[in-house]
Amino acid sequence: MNFTFTDELRGGFRDRPVLVTGATGLVGANLVAALTHLGAHVRATVHRKQPASAYPAVDYLVCDLTRPEDCARAVTGQRWVFHCAARGTNADGFNRDGGVEFLENFFMDANLLAAAHVADVEKFIWLGSTTAYPPTRDRPTVEEDLLRDEPFEKYHAVGWFKRFSEVLCRIYADRVTPRLSTIVVRPSAIYGPQDDFDLATCHVVPALVRKVVERSDPLEVWGTGDEERDLVFVEDVVEALLSAVRLDGYAAFNIGTGESHTIRQVVENLVALDGFAEARIQFDFSKPTTIPRRRISIARAAKELNWHPRTKLTEGLRRTLEWYRRESGVARPSSGA
């Protein structure tokens, strides 16, 4: 980890009962690590997977958040909740079933919000998604764009489920007594250590990292390579989540870098960083892809959270490569191999 915690932040979390859902996911695993270092009393939910790096001081709770009784058990005695649990998929998954299975995520969101309200939780920080936005072409997407048009076609189901959950968050913050402060964080494309590197389910960056580390020949890249993404390093997302607890009521923030890079740039960076000069990169136009361009504005987070991304793409990719190589046990080939 490369977090820099202020004394103010440490004081805010020290000895505080905090729940993190989805502790084996990319964001959840990194958030648990950060909160542990901040001295919080962390409870973390897991479902089918066990955490790759378990902390002795963390209370790991096995539960199914689609079940109301499990949600009630998870939030009991907690003051702040970071809801990071969600079922995810990649471009192939969106292509196969249109995202209808993401209704499961809405059940988790609704059940956990209801349980948090009953348990008198003070703050509920929810990890949303930019898949809920409509396409905005070259214009950076701002928070007010959320309901201005339909989500991107392939994101239609998951985008609407995310919107339903955001409406619920606002209802609990503005309409239900007693009020439950709910802060929504809408990250762009997250990557980094602890990601899913299973080629059957993972997103583009971990897929490319794995192929580069394992010296795939040819190095297949789905799509044209011209697709643009705002790629944000996971530690920057975690810092945004931690900053969000300063607020009360309801608010929503885009979290990204404010910049976009093509997939072609990403793969070229990876092969250069890992010394894979002989890579034969092949773009497969027949493979499914998602939205061709996504650019987001992070001006509101900068102004209201005093949050700014700190990790440049090259540094984030380097650290992700090093982590995956270490965890997978794949040795770096000798020069020219």
Beta carbons within 8 Å of 193's beta carbon, 6+ residues apart = 30, 234, 319, 320, 323, 324
pLDDT in tens, the chain (337 residues): 676 666 667 678 999 999 999 999 999 999 999 999 999 999 999 998 887 778 999 999 999 999 999 999 999 999 999 999 997 654 455 455 555 667 889 999 999 999 999 999 999 999 999 999 999 988 999 999 999 999 999 888 889 999 999 999 999 999 999 999 999 999 999 999 999 999 988 999 999 999 999 999 999 999 999 999 999 999 999 999 999 999 999 999 999 999 999 999 999 999 999 999 999 999 998 887 888 899 999 999 999 999 999 999 999 999 999 999 999 998 888 654 4
Domains and CATH numbers, the chain: 8-191+232-258+295-310 (3.40.50.720)
Whether the CB-CB separation of 231 and 205 falls below 8 Å is answered with yes
Q: What is the pTM of this model?
A: 0.94
For residue 179, what pLDDT is reported? 97
Whether the CB-CB separation of 21 and 84 falls below 8 Å is answered with yes
Best CA proximity match to 167, nearest among 188, 147, 189, 141: 147
Q: How far apart are CA 33 and CA 38, in angstroms?
A: 9
For residue 96, what pLDDT is reported? 53
Phi, psi of 252 (to 5 degrees): -135, 140
For residue 259, what pLDDT is reported? 94
Tokens of 46: 């897991």
101-105 long-range contacts (CB < 8 A, ≥24 apart) are: 102/157, 102/158, 102/161, 103/157, 103/161, 104/66, 105/158, 105/161, 105/162, 105/165
- Kindly list the distances between the CA atom of residue 304 and the CA atoms of 172, 200, 227, in Å, as whole numbers in the listed order: 21, 38, 30
For residue 99, what pLDDT is reported? 57
Q: What 3 state SS string does the chain have?
A: CCCCCCHHHHHHHCCCEEEEECCCCHHHHHHHHHHHHCCCEEEEEECCCCCCCCCCCCEEEECCCCCHHHHHHHHCCCCEEEECCCCCCCHHHHHHHCCHHHHHHHHHHHHHHHHHHHCCCCEEEEECCHHHCCCCCCCCECHHHCCCCCCCHHHHHHHHHHHHHHHHHHHHHHCCCCCCEEEEEEECEEECCCCCCCCCCCCHHHHHHHHHHCCCCCEEEECCCCCEECEEEHHHHHHHHHHHCCCCCEEEEEECCCCCEEHHHHHHHHHHHCCCCCCCEEEECCCCCCCCECCECCHHHHHHCCCCCCCCHHHHHHHHHHHHHHHHCCCCCCCCC
For residue 157, what pLDDT is reported? 87
Q: 233 pairs with which residues across the strands?
A: 191
Number of residues written out for the chain? 337
Q: 136 pairs with which residues across the strands?
A: none
CA 199 and chain centroid, separation: 18
Q: How far apart are CA 123 and CA 18, in angstroms?
A: 10
CA 60 and chain centroid, separation: 20
